[in-house]
Amino acid sequence: MIRAAALCLVLWAGGAAAQSDIAQAARDAAARLDEAAGMLAAAETRDDRVAALTRTVQAYEAGLDALRDGLRRAAIRQRALEAELEARSDEIARLLGVLQAMGRAPAPLLLLHPSGPLGTARSGMMVADVTPALQARVDALRADLTEMAELRAVQDGAAQTLREGLAGVQGARTALSNAISERTDLPVRFTEDPVQTALLLSSTDTLAAFADGLAVIVATETGVPAPDARTRQGSLPLPVQGTVLRAAGQADAAGVVRPGIVIASRPRALVTAPAAATVRFRGPLLDYGNVVILEPAADVLFVIAGLSEVFGEVGQVVPEGAPVGLMGGDRPNTDAIVTELTAGDAGSRNETLYLEVREGQSAVDPATWFAVR
């Protein structure tokens, strides 16, 4: 019996996994979503509702991303534990058999040995050596099973948290859109000539030609000074939270090469101004979808394309971090997110934003302006 227990210990190599912080990370993410809900309630009473609601949407997006990450890690850890326990099922069964046999045998009988007192003494020494290690393996098994149960409980309870978070961020986006449409406090550098804008749109077939002709849409100058972000070249944040899919000059799947970068983001992600800038154009343009063109400095344009919704008015000077639009895509539901997590989070960032920077008459690598590395 003792030899069998010792054999189980040898076959079950390695120590038990320590209690992970994965479940706690998921709980922390849920707490961040609760904080975002409080921010949404408070934003309606703030003087600058647009800024407050922008922070609220970003807080929701960060909380949902953190919760997705926590649940993804929980799912991976649970699968690892299940695979480990399945691989060691024979050892676990033998260990449990030994423990049950030892539990049923009377204590005095465990100390007796057919060879007499010397054998009894030796068996006692073996029991003394094996018992602590045996207990350690039992504790390790208990810890693994406890951790798995905790991970399952976290995942089971996440559905409602996700549902509330998705509803909250949608409510915040709607409130933000309404607040932007009602705002009147932004300085205006010029008013737009809609006729000239329409003529420019109809007469140009390239982004470069359109950008070069933007000066004609100005109807009236107001004297408001232009922003100048040149001192921050190379350090500006990207306009949307995501991952750079293609660098400038890198061909896409169809072999098309563009001078801008492509950023993958989640559906309905908030797009913001990387720096204080003048809105030079907003609306559909060629085959780029909805476009916002910002002027952060004289003779410098940021072309942000591929949005579903665009905010602001041409001629306005928007501050850094101001919302300029939303990404497209279907609003994810709880079931879709759970399926996405099961698949390893693949395909969750399935919306793409195109970002091009133009200086004078030429396109330049956005990496010279943005922190893309």
- What's the CATH number where 352 sits? 2.70.70.10
311: which 2 tokens?
């905010």
Residues in the chain, total: 373
Q: CA 59 to CA 68: how far, in whole Å?
A: 14
Beta bridge partners of 300: 297, 359
Give domain status of residue 241, yes or no: yes
Give the residue from 136, 159, 182 where a domain finishes.
Answer: 182
Give long-range contacts, CB 8 A cutoff, 24+ apart: 296-299: 296/227, 296/228, 296/229, 297/226, 297/227, 297/228, 297/229, 297/230, 298/226, 298/228, 299/359, 299/360
Give domain status of residue 57, yes or no: yes
Comparing C-alpha atoms, which of 224, 216, 213, 214 is closest to residue 190?
224
Show Cβ contacts of residue 192 under 8 Å, excluding neighbours closer than 6 positions. Answer: 217, 218, 219, 313, 314, 315
Domain range spanning residue 83? 2-182
On whether both 156 and 208 belong to a single domain, the answer is no
On whether both 303 and 362 belong to a single domain, the answer is yes
On whether both 162 and 51 belong to a single domain, the answer is yes
> Tokens 């009236």 map to which residue?
220
Number of structural domains found in the chain: 2
Tens-of-pLDDT digits for all 373 residues of the chain? 333 333 333 333 333 333 457 777 777 888 888 888 888 888 877 778 899 999 999 998 988 888 888 777 777 777 777 777 777 666 666 666 665 665 555 555 445 555 545 555 555 555 555 556 656 666 666 676 776 677 676 667 677 788 888 888 989 999 999 999 888 889 999 998 889 999 999 988 888 899 888 888 888 888 899 999 999 999 999 999 999 999 998 988 888 889 999 999 999 999 999 999 999 999 999 888 999 999 999 999 999 999 999 999 999 999 999 999 999 887 666 665 655 555 555 446 688 999 999 998 899 999 999 988 6
For the entire predicted model, the pTM comes to 0.75
